[in-house]
Structure 1
Amino acid sequence: MQYRKFRADKLFDGYTLRKTDDTLIVDARGKVIDIVAAADAGDDVETFSGILSPGFINCHCHLELSHLKNIIPPHTGLVDFLCSVVTKRGFEQELIKEEIRKAEQEMFENGIVAVGDIGNTADTAAVKRNSKIRWHNFVEVLGFTDEKAVSNVQQYTRVAEQLKADHRTSLVPHAPYSISPRTFQLINEATANQIISIHNQETAAEDELYKTGQGDFLRLFNLFGFTGSPFPVTGKSSIRSYLPYFNNGQTVFLIHNSFMPEEDIIWANAYAAANGLQLVYCFCINANLYIENKVPAVTLFQQQHCNVVLGTDSYSSNWQLSITKEIQALLQHTTVTKEQALQMATLNGAKAMQWQNDLGSFEKNKQPGIVLIKHDFGSSKRLL
């Protein structure tokens, strides 16, 4: 059996950022054999400057929006951003497919080994079929009214059928401001014990919508022909209004959480524990900066012992698709440590996506990929 041996200034094994000269030994395909002291590693050790890490888990991306790179300006706020996405999706199919291909290759080269990917269409199917990245397709349902709930869910179920032959696939709600009560109920029924996601409390207007029926989202609804909010006024925050629709053993990824107060974190965790749900909090720091120019209060989630993971979001709302750059932004804007950030980017994500048997850490017989990270987290590259 042929072996490859890797050593760098530091080695992160999925749990701990080691400050020793430990050497990672893998077979020719990248399956982990062992981590040994330098004195026991023998010859032919490949030595690098930087940090060695298992491959990254990108828990939230919209690969199909890659053609919107540099199209929507930053710092518009969420509602104007959404209006731009709705009105600027009319591109040639060949261009869309080429930008999807380039984005997938970028993620692979910078060390992303698995992705939880949002899609409203099957545009990404061809690229994913030949990809070396592992994918979970979140087919995102939009449905503003109960009257069209059944037909909308059927439409997105057909999209899921086109994607699920090659990769794990589930229906998911887009966001609290785009899903009617009956649509939530149908998604709950269709996703028992599955992994799903929803964009959560990404702007203050989201809570205002449910508490009063007013606010900035009315401009978005006008684009779809509504003169007011199509959703019931509950007098509660958005998460307290929609999370009770779910009670079917799901793992629910809450995406962004930029405007989620501590009392809602406490409430959501208690509801999940009482109703058999698993909550995962996914942060996409650069997308939050791109759209609202606001960073979630990550330490609040850590204090409440939340399961925290990282995502890139899409090229419509980010300057790059790099988990390394997400770590860099996290370190710059929060008090999260390097070790904690690396855990979020690797083993936390692998566990949340239920890929921990293969990915996320340098443990014997796993094949998690090997990434070299610059010390300042300015860039990374896949070694194996």
Structure 2
Amino acid sequence: MQYRKFRADELFDGYTLRKTDDTLIADATGKVIEIAAAADAGEDVETYSGILSPGLINCHCHLELSHLKNIIPPHTGLVDFLCSVVSKRGFEQELIQEEIRKAEQEMFENGIVAVGDIGNTADTVVVKQSSKLRWHNFVEVLGFSDEKAASNLQHYTSVADELKTHHRTTLTPHAPYSISPLTFQLINTATTGKIISVHNQETAAEDELYKTGSGDFLRFYKIFGLDRSPFPVTGKCSIRSYLPYFNNGQTILLIHNTFMCEEDIVWANEYAAANGLTLVYCFCINANLYIENKVPAVALFQQQHCNIVLGTDSYSSNWQLSVTKEIQALLQHSSIAAEQALQMATLNGAKALQWQNDLGSFEKNKQPGIVLLEKDFSSSKRLL
């Protein structure tokens, strides 16, 4: 059997950042054989400057929006950003497919091995059929009215049927500001025991919408011919208004959480524990900076022992699709240690998407991918 041996300035094994000369030994396919001491590794060791890491997990992306790269200006705020996404139509399918292909290739080359990917359409199916990445497709349901809840769910189920031929696929709610009560209930029934995601508290206007029925989102609804909020006023913040719709053992990735306060974190964790849910908090730091120019209070989530993962969001809201750049941004805007950030980008993400038996760490017989990261997390590249 032919082996490849890798050594770098530091080696992150999925758990610990080792500042030693330990050597990673894998077979030609990338399956981990062992991590050996330098004295036992033998000859033909490939030596690099930087950090060796398992392949990176991108827990939140919108691959189908790749054609919006450099189209929407940064720092507009979420409501104006959403209005831009909704209004920018008419792109040629050939262009959409080419930008999807380029974005998938970019993620592969910079060391991403698995993606939790949001989509409203089946535009990504062709690229994913031949992709070397592992995909969990979240088919994103939108539905403002209870009257159309059943037909909307039927439509998105048909999209899921197109995507699920090659990769794991589940329905998922878009956001609290785009899902009616009955639609939430139908999604809860349809996703028993599955992994779903929801954009959570990405802007202060989201809480205002549920507390008072007013605020900046009313401008967004006017695009759809609505002169008031289509959702019930609960007097509570958004997460306390929608999370109780779920009680069927789902793993729920809460995405962004930019305006989530400590009291809401505590409440959400307690609700999940009491109702058989697993919560995962996904940060997309560069997207938060791109849209709202604000990032979550990461320390609050750490203090509450939250399970944290990383995502890139889409090219409509990011300058690149690089989990390494997300690590860099996280380190710049929080007190997180590099080892913790690497855990979020590898093993935590693999566990969240339930691929920890194969991905996320350098453990015997796993095939997690082997990536070289620059020490300052400015770039990364796939080695195997």
Paired amino acid for 1:231: F
CA distance in 1, matches of 2:188, 2:313: 24
Hey, what does 1:255 align to over in structure 2? 255
Residues 197-229 of structure 1: CA deviation (Å, up to 9, x unaligned): 000000000000000000000000000110100
Is residue 107 of structure 1 aligned with residue 107 of structure 2?
yes
> What is the match of residue 170 of structure 1?
170
AA of the residue aligned to 1:346:
T
Give the drift of 1:90: 2.1
Deviation at 1:264, TM superposition (A): 0.2
Structure 2 residue runs of 5 or longer lacking an equivalent are none
Alpha-carbon distance in 1 for matches of 2:200, 2:226: 22
Alignment partners' CA distance in 1, 2:16 and 2:90: 46
Partner of 2:366: 366
Give the equivalent residue in structure 2 for 1:190. Answer: 190
Indicate the residue corresponding to 2:234 in structure 1: 234
Could you say what the CA RMSD is over the residues aligned between the two structures, in angstroms? Answer: 0.3
Q: Report the AA paired with residue 344 of structure 1.
A: M
Letter in 2 for 1:195: I
* Structure 1 residue identity aligned to 2:263: E
CA offset at residue 196 of structure 1? 0.1
Rounded to whole Å, the distance in 2 between the matches of 1:369 and 1:336 is: 24
- Tell me which residue corresponds to 1:80: 80
Residue 311 of structure 1 aligns with which residue? Answer: 311
Partner SS, residue 315 of structure 1: coil
Q: Distance in 1 between matches of 2:382 and 2:336?
A: 24
Cα drift, residue 260 of structure 1: 0.2
- Distance between the aligned counterparts of 1:89 and 1:239, measured in 2? 31
1:109 CA displacement: 0.1
Q: Deviations over 1:27-68 (max 9, x none)?
A: 010000000111111000000000000000000000000000
Partner of 1:265: 265
Cα distance, 1:291 vs structure 2: 0.1
How far did residue 89 of structure 1 move? Answer: 3.0
* Partner secondary structure for residue 24 of structure 1: strand
- Kindly provide the amino acid, as one letter, of the partner of residue 39 in structure 1: A
Q: For residues 311-340 of structure 1, what are the alpha-carbon distances to aligned partners after superposition, in whole Å with 9 as ceiling and x for unaligned?
A: 000000000000000000000010000000
Q: Does 1:245 align with 2:267?
A: no
Which aligned runs of 4 or more in structure 1 are off by greater than 2 angstroms?
Answer: none
For residues 271 and 330 of structure 1, the distance between their equivalents in structure 2, rounded to whole angstroms, comes to 27
Q: Which amino acid aligns with 1:54?
A: P
Corresponding residue SS for 2:229: coil
Q: State the AA in 1 paired with 2:71.
A: I
1:332 aligns with 2:335: no
Determine helix, strand or coil for the equivalent of 1:171.
Answer: strand
Structure 1 unaligned regions, length at least 5: none
Scaled by the length of structure 2, the TM-score of the pair is 1.00
Amino acid at match of 2:309: V
Q: Does 1:224 align with 2:224?
A: yes
In the other structure, the counterpart of 2:299 is 299
Q: TM-score, normalised by structure 1?
A: 1.00
Which residue of structure 2 lines up, in the alignment, with residue 38 of structure 1?
A: 38
Aligned to 2:356: 356
Superposed, 1:66-215 pairs within 5 Å as 66-215=66-215
Deviation at 1:377, TM superposition (A): 0.4
Query: Aligned partners of 1:92 and 1:135: how far apart in 2?
Result: 25
- Return the alpha-carbon distance in structure 2 between the equivalents of residues 333 and 188 of structure 1: 35
Residue 186 of structure 1 aligns to a residue whose secondary structure is helix
Which residue does the alignment assign to 2:29?
A: 29
